[in-house]
C-alpha cells in the first residue's frame, strides 16, 4: 500500500520567567530562563484509501485534555479525536499552568494563559505544517535494543511480578527501541523513536526550561542530518518505572553533572535510533478511541487474574505518591515509598472497614488525597480518560494518558497482540497521550505501594480495566466496526488567578539592552544585559539571544555583516533572567563555545521587549581562535 507522509515542527515554549515548572511539583522550581526551547513535532500519514493518522510529539511535562480539545478544533477536516494522538515527552523542566484540572496548576499561581496559548498555537502550527507537507513516502519500521539509558527505579515492586513476566525483562528494564522512518526519494525526511526512559535527567533544582534527554536526542539528529528539513521525535512508551539516572540518585549517572548526563542519555537514544533502518511497511492505517470513566469500571474475570469480577474506585492518591520517585527527585517531607504508618493505620483500621468496595479497589494503599471527593467541588484530577488504538501497517500504538510500568505495558501489549494477531514487539504503549491520569502498575506491583503504586489512583484493578478497554478497541479494529465513544470529561473553565504586576524600568543611568558585564572563562563566554521581563513577549518561534559571527570580508561590521550561528534553542547557550530590585532586571547570556566552532569574530546579542516595543543589546566583537 502506498502512503503519503508529512512533517512539521513548531515552538511551544511557555513562560521563561516566574512560572512554576510541571513534573516535580516543587513550589520553588520557578522558571528563570531557557537552556533549550520546547517543540512540537507532527507527523501526518495517509494511506492509499485515504485513511489518516496524525501523531504529534510534544516536549512538555504532561498532556492536557484542554490542550487536546482546543487543538482538535483547529485542525483541517479529516482529523478527529480518534486518529490524532498528541503525546508528551515528559520533561520535568517545562512551564506548567496549562491544565483545566487544578492539581497541575498548584505551583504556578493558577492557570497561565500565555503558556497555554503558546502550547496550543504551536501544536496547531506543527500539525498544519505536517498536513500541508503530505507527499508520497516510504515508511520503514525497525526495532533494536538499548541498554545503558534506563534503570528500574522501583525494583522492589517489579520483583513482585510473576517469573514469566520478569523473564521478559532480564535486566529489569525495557530495552526495546523502535523507529518509524519516513523516506522520500531514498532520503530520510522524518523519524519517530519510542524508548522507555523517564525524561528526568535534569533535576528539580534546575530552573531553566529544558527538553531534557529526549529533546537533546531529537535536536542532535536534526542538526547532524545531511537531509535539510529533517524532523525527528523521541517519544515515550511504558516508562513508568524507568529512570535515566543510572545510579538511582537525582542527577547521578553516568556522571554527577545533570547537563552532561542529559547529553549522554540523549546521545545514546539518538545513536541507537540512527543505527536502525528496517523493512518497508505495508498495510492500512486505522484508529479507534473510547472514553473510559476509570472511577467506575466493572472489570470482568478474564481480565482481573483471580477469576472474579472487581470494580475500580474514584481516584485516591496514596501516601507513597507524595514521597516522590527517589531516583528522580524526592517528594515531600514526612512521606516515604512503601509503607507510611499513620496513613496505613488510618486506612486499614478506620476507612476500609466502613467501605468494603473501596477496600477491594484500593487496599493496601494508605489513602491520603481523596481526589474523587474533591472533584465534586473543583476539578483536580481527570476521571474520564481517552483510551486510543492506532494502527500504522503492522505497528499498533496504545494511546494512554498515563505513566505505565514496563510489566503493565507488557500485559497491555500482549492483550492487543493476541486479538489482532501481531507480534508483541509490534505493539507499543504510547504513554502520556491525549490527557493525564497518573500511573498504571500491575496489581502485584500495586501491593508494594512504591511511588508508582501510590500514584495508581484508581486502585489495583486499574490495569485490568485498561486491558479490558483496550481489548474492546482491538476487537473493533480487527472486525472493522466502530468502537463506542463513551462520555468525554467535561472541562470546566480554569481559574485564571495568575496576574503579573508592574512594568519594567532600566537600571539607573542605563538603557534597556546595555551591557553590564562581559567575560570569558575558558570556552565559556558570558554577557549580562539590562533587561525586561521575558513575559512581555514569549518570542515563540524566535529567540531571546543570538550568537553571531562576522562574515568574511565583513568590512565595518554593520548589521548586515553578522550571521547567526546559535540561538536560545541551542545546547551551547543559556538564557537566564533575574530580578534586580524594583522593576529592574538583568539577563545573562552564556555561550559554551563548541569545539568545532569556526574561528573568527563573534558577538552575543539579547532581544527583549517592554510594553513599548522590542529592543536589542549586543556585546562588542570577540575572537574565537582556531583549535
pLDDT per residue over 563-619, tens digit each? 999 999 999 999 999 999 889 999 999 999 999 999 999 999 999 999 899 999 999
- C-alpha to C-alpha distances, 294 to 196, 277, 380, 450, 487, nearest whole angstrom: 24, 39, 15, 21, 11
Is residue 577 in a domain? yes
Task: Give pLDDT, residue 331.
Answer: 87
On the question of pLDDT at 557 being above 60, the answer is no
pLDDT per residue over 181-207, tens digit each? 999 999 999 999 999 999 999 999 999
Q: How confident is the model at residue 503 (pLDDT cuts 50, 70, 90)?
A: confident
Catalytic residue among 31, 64, 154, 243: 243
Helices (H), 244-313: 258-274, 301-304
User: What are the cell numbers at 538?
Assistant: 514569549
Is residue 202 in a domain? yes
Residues 6+ positions from 347 with CB-CB distance below 8 Å: 362, 363, 365, 366, 367
Assess whether 121 and 227 both reside in one domain.
Answer: yes
Residues 6+ positions from 502 with CB-CB distance below 8 Å: 583
Structural domain including 552 reads 515-624
> Any idea what DSSP says for residue 375?
T
Is residue 392 in a domain? yes
Task: Give pLDDT, residue 170.
Answer: 98
Task: Give pLDDT, residue 497.
Answer: 67
Assess whether 426 and 556 both reside in one domain.
Answer: no
Assess whether 424 and 520 both reside in one domain.
Answer: no
Average pLDDT over residues 119-143: 98
Residues 6+ positions from 438 with CB-CB distance below 8 Å: 315, 317, 321, 381, 402, 403, 455, 456, 457
- C-alpha to C-alpha distances, 381 to 52, 401, 436, 491, 567, nearest whole angstrom: 31, 12, 8, 11, 37
Cβ-contact 291, 386 below 8 angstroms: yes
Assess whether 438 and 549 both reside in one domain.
Answer: no
Domain containing 574 — which CATH number?
A: 2.60.40.2300
> Any idea what DSSP says for residue 249?
B
Q: What is the largest CA-CA distance in the chain?
A: 84
User: Distance between CA atoms of 178 and 156, rounded to whole angstroms?
Assistant: 27
Q: How confident is the model at residue 502 (pLDDT cuts 50, 70, 90)?
A: low
Is residue 304 in a domain? no
Q: How confident is the model at residue 330 (pLDDT cuts 50, 70, 90)?
A: confident
Helices (H), 143-228: 155-158, 163-168, 212-224
What SS3 class is residue 475?
Answer: helix
Task: Give pLDDT, residue 500.
Answer: 64
Task: Give pLDDT, residue 605.
Answer: 98
pLDDT per residue over 353-398, tens digit each? 999 999 999 999 999 999 999 999 999 999 999 999 999 999 999 9
Is residue 283 in a domain? yes
- C-alpha to C-alpha distances, 36 to 19, 43, 196, 227, 266, nearest whole angstrom: 16, 22, 22, 22, 13
Task: Give pLDDT, residue 498.
Answer: 60
User: Distance between CA atoms of 188 and 539, rounded to whole angstroms?
Assistant: 30
On the question of pLDDT at 555 being above 50, the answer is no
Assess whether 413 and 523 both reside in one domain.
Answer: no
Is residue 366 in a domain? no
User: What are the cell numbers at 370?
Assistant: 481523596
> Of 153, 159, 151, which is closest to residue 447 (Cα–Cα)?
159
Task: Give pLDDT, residue 47.
Answer: 97
Assess whether 535 and 610 both reside in one domain.
Answer: yes
On the question of pLDDT at 494 being above 70, the answer is yes
Strand 585-592 and strand 562-567: the pairing is unpaired
- Report the range of poorest mean pLDDT among 332-341, 396-405, 475-484: 332-341
pLDDT per residue over 294-307, tens digit each? 999 999 999 999 99
- C-alpha to C-alpha distances, 240 to 93, 96, 300, nearest whole angstrom: 18, 20, 25
Is residue 399 in a domain? yes
Counted residue by residue, the chain has a size of 627
Task: Give pLDDT, residue 225.
Answer: 81
Is residue 525 in a domain? yes
Number of domains in the chain: 2
DSSP string of 106-117? TTTTS--HHHHH
Assess whether 435 and 530 both reside in one domain.
Answer: no
Choose one of 425, 452, 479: the last residue of a domain: 452
Rg value, the chain, Cα = 25
User: What are the cell numbers at 10?
Assistant: 513548531
Residue carrying the nine cell digits 527501541:
177
Assess whether 567 and 423 both reside in one domain.
Answer: no
Cβ-contact 581, 570 below 8 angstroms: no
Choose one of 432, 452, 472: the last residue of a domain: 452
Assess whether 76 and 178 both reside in one domain.
Answer: yes
What SS3 class is residue 625?
Answer: coil
- C-alpha to C-alpha distances, 400 to 110, 235, 381, nearest whole angstrom: 26, 13, 15
On the question of pLDDT at 346 being above 80, the answer is yes
> Of 283, 284, 237, 286, which is closest to residue 483 (Cα–Cα)?
286
Cβ-contact 504, 536 below 8 angstroms: yes
Task: Give pLDDT, residue 559.
Answer: 52
Assess whether 436 and 569 both reside in one domain.
Answer: no
pLDDT per residue over 67-94, tens digit each? 999 999 999 999 999 999 999 999 999 9
pLDDT per residue over 27-68, tens digit each? 999 999 999 999 999 999 999 999 999 999 999 999 999 999
Task: Give pLDDT, residue 496.
Answer: 75
Task: Give pLDDT, residue 302.
Answer: 97
Residues 6+ positions from 479 with CB-CB distance below 8 Å: none
Assess whether 432 and 554 both reside in one domain.
Answer: no
Q: Is 243 a known active-site residue?
A: yes
Q: How confident is the model at residue 22 (pLDDT cuts 50, 70, 90)?
A: very high
DSSP string of 521-558? ETTEEEEEEEE--GGG---TTS-SEEEEEEPTT-TT--
Task: Give pLDDT, residue 228.
Answer: 78
User: Distance between CA atoms of 616 and 537, rounded to whole angstroms?
Assistant: 13
Cβ-contact 111, 105 below 8 angstroms: yes
User: Distance between CA atoms of 207 and 210, rounded to whole angstroms?
Assistant: 9
User: What are the cell numbers at 410?
Assistant: 507488557
> Of 108, 128, 31, which is closest to residue 64 (Cα–Cα)?
108
> Any idea what DSSP says for residue 328?
T
Assess whether 89 and 192 both reside in one domain.
Answer: yes
Choose one of 418, 437, 452: the last residue of a domain: 452
Amino acid at each position: 500500500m502506498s502512503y503519503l507522509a508529512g512533517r512539521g515542527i513548531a515552538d511551544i515554549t511557555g513562560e521563561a520567567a516566574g512560572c512554576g515548572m510541571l513534573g516535580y511539583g516543587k513550589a520553588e522550581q520557578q522558571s528563570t530562563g531557557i537552556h533549550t526551547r520546547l517543540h512540537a513535532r507532527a507527523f501526518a500519514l495517509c494511506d492509499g484509501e485515504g485513511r489518516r493518522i496524525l501523531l504529534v510529539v510534544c516536549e512538555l511535562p504532561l498532556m492536557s485534555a484542554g490542550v487536546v480539545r482546543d487543538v482538535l478544533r483547529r485542525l483541517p477536516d479529516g482529523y478527529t479525536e480518534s486518529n490524532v494522538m498528541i503525546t508528551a515527552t515528559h520533561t520535568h523542566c517545562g512551564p506548567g499552568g496549562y491544565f483545566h484540572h487544578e492539581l497541575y496548576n498548584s505551583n504556578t499561581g493558577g492557570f497561565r494563559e500565555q503558556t497555554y496559548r503558546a502550547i496550543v498555537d504551536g501544536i496547531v502550527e506543527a500539525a498544519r505544517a505536517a498536513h500541508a507537507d503530505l507527499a508520497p513516502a516510504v515508511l520503514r519500521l525497525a526495532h533494536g535494543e538499548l541498554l545503558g539509558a534506563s534503570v528500574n527505579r522501583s525494583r522492589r515492586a517489579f520483583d513482585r511480578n510473576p517469573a514469566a513476566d520478569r523473564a521478559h525483562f532480564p535486566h529489569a528494564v525495557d530495552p526495546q527501541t523502535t523507529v518509524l522512518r519516513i523516506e522520500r526519494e531514498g532520503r530520510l525526511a522524518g523519524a519517530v523513536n519510542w524508548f522507555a526512559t523517564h525524561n528526568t535527567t535534569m533535576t528539580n533544582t534546575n530552573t531553566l526550561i529544558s527538553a531534557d534527554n529526549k529533546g537533546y536526542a531529537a535536536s542532535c539528529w536534526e542538526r547532524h542530518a545531511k537531509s535539510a528539513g529533517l524532523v525527528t521525535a523521541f517519544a515515550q512508551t511504558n516508562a513508568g518505572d524507568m529512570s535515566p539516572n543510572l545510579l538511582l540518585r537525582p542527577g547521578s549517572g553516568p556522571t554527577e553533572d545533570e547537563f552532561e548526563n542529559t547529553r549522554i542519555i540523549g546521545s545514546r537514544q539518538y545513536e541507537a535510533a540512527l543505527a536502525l533502518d528496517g523493512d518497508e511497511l505495508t498495510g492500512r492505517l486505522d484508529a479507534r478511541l473510547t472514553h473510559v470513566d476509570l472511577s467506575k469500571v466493572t472489570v470482568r474475570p478474564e481480565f482481573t487474574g483471580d477469576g472474579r469480577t472487581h470494580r475500580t474506585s474514584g481516584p485516591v492518591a496514596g501516601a507513597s505518591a507524595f514521597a516522590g520517585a527517589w531516583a528522580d527527585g524526592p517528594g515531600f517531607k514526612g512521606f516515604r515509598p512503601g509503607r507510611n504508618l499513620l496513613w496505613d493505620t488510618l486506612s486499614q483500621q478506620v476507612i476500609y472497614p466502613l467501605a468494603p468496595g473501596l477496600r477491594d479497589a484500593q487496599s493496601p494503599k494508605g489513602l491520603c488525597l481523596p481526589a474523587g471527593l474533591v472533584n465534586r467541588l473543583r476539578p483536580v484530577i481527570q476521571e474520564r480518560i481517552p483510551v486510543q488504538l492506532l494502527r500504522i501497517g503492522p505497528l499498533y500504538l496504545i494511546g494512554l494518558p498515563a505513566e505505565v510500568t514496563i510489566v503493565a505495558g507488557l500485559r497491555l501489549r500482549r492483550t492487543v497482540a493476541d486479538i489482532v494477531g501481531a507480534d508483541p514487539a509490534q505493539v507499543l504503549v504510547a504513554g502520556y497521550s491525549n490527557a493525564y491520569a497518573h500511573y498504571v502498575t500491575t496489581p502485584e506491583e500495586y501491593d508494594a505501594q512504591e511511588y508508582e503504586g501510590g500514584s495508581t489512583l484508581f486502585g489495583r484493578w486499574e490495569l485490568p480495566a485498561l486491558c479490558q478497554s483496550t481489548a474492546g478497541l482491538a476487537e473493533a479494529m480487527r472486525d472493522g466496526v466502530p468502537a463506542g465513544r463513551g462520555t468525554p470529561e467535561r472541562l470546566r473553565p480554569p481559574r485564571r488567578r495568575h496576574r503579573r504586576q508592574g512594568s519594567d524600568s532600566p537600571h539607573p543611568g542605563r538603557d534597556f539592552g546595555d551591557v553590564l558585564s562581559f567575560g570569558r572563562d575558558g570556552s565559556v563566554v558570558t554577557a549580562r544585559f539590562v533587561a525586561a521581563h521575558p513575559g512581555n513577549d514569549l518570542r515563540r518561534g524566535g529567540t531571546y539571544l543570538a550568537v553571531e559571527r562576522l562574515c568574511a570580508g565583513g568590512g565595518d561590521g554593520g548589521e548586515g555583516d553578522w550571521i547567526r550561528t546559535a540561538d536560545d534553542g541551542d545546547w551551547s547557550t543559556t538564557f537566564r533572567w533575574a530580578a534586580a530590585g524594583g522593576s529592574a532586571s538583568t539577563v545573562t547570556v552564556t555561550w559554551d563555545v563548541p569545539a568545532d566552532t569556526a574561528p573568527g569574530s563573534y558577538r552575543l546579542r539579547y532581544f527583549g521587549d517592554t510594553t513599548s516595543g522590542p529592543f536589542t543589546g549586543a556585546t562588542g566583537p570577540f575572537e574565537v581562535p582556531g583549535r
